[in-house]
């Protein structure tokens, strides 16, 4: 299972939100590159970079941070937040993204998402399917759709999606454990690789997700607040 560090960017700084609430923001570091280099030094190879400004505004804003990290580290970066157009994808891949995670667009413009899936390949396009009360959320978690998370993932798997990144919004940033039961449901979808996110607090949580069959696990606030040290992650990596 891949261990993936999360880095949420707002106004160029590393921050974390609680349950996706922009008013509940904690700033951890003003220099994302320093944070990325420290992660790399401890053996982390994968970074999930979230453009919170872009997610809220519906247009990518922090691709410069992506470019800086991609060009100055060996981290394999996937980018999410505010991706709405062909130009956005071209910009992100030219800035060094290894993968991009598309969430809102898969709900609001499924034909465009499927076009990207075909054009760039399912290895480079991750389906973002974040949920609250089992309903898929969009627009930086500000809106909730009528789509059930399992049905949503099953329908896109039939269209060729390989990777799905899922966050239980109620768990995100709360440090009270992931939604193991829902993730165990998701991994039963044949051919779908689940990247689990939200609520991971300990090495034991990571191992439980691995044993459940997750392809990847994203760790964010637990790193920044020392619940899981970079030394512990280095050993796991």
* Residues in the chain, pLDDT under 50: 140
Write the pLDDT tens digit of every residue in 83-108. Answer: 999 999 999 999 999 999 998 899 88
172 assigned to active site: no
Q: 8, 51, 53, 205: which is the annotated catalytic residue?
A: 8
pLDDT of residue 132: 86
The fourth-level CATH superfamily of domain 2-236 is Aldolase class I (3.20.20.70)
The Cα–Cα gap between 237 and 80 comes to: 23
8 assigned to active site: yes
Q: 205 — phi, psi (to 5°)?
A: -60, -45
Give the residue extent of every domain in the chain.
Answer: 2-236
Q: 51, 53, 78, 130: which is the annotated catalytic residue?
A: 130
């Amino acid at each position: 299972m891949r261990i993936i560090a999360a880095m949420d960017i707002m106004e160029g700084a590393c921050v974390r939100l609680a349950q996706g609430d922009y008013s509940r923001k904690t700033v951890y570091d003003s220099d994302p590159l320093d944070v990325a280099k420290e992660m790399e030094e401890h053996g982390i190879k994968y970074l999930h970079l979230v453009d919170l400004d872009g997610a809220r505004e519906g247009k990518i804003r922090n691709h410069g941070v992506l470019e800086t990290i991609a060009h100055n580290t060996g981290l394999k970066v996937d980018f999410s937040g505010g991706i709405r157009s062909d130009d956005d994808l071209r910009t992100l891949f030219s800035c060094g993204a290894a993968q991009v995670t598309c969430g809102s667009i898969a709900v609001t413009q499924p034909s465009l998402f499927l076009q990207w899936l075909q054009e760039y390949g399912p290895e480079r396009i991750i389906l973002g399917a974040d949920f609250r009360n089992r309903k898929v959320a969009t627009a930086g978690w500000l809106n909730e759709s009528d789509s059930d998370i399992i049905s949503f993932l099953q329908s896109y798997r039939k269209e060729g999606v390989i990777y799905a990144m899922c966050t239980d919004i109620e768990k995100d940033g709360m440090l009270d454990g992931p939604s193991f039961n829902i993730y165990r449901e998701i991994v039963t979808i044949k051919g779908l690789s689940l990247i689990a996110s939200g609520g991971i607090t300990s090495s034991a949580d990571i191992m439980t997700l691995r044993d459940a069959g997750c392809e990847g696990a994203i760790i964010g606030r637990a790193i920044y607040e020392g619940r899981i040290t970079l030394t512990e992650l280095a050993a796991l990596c």
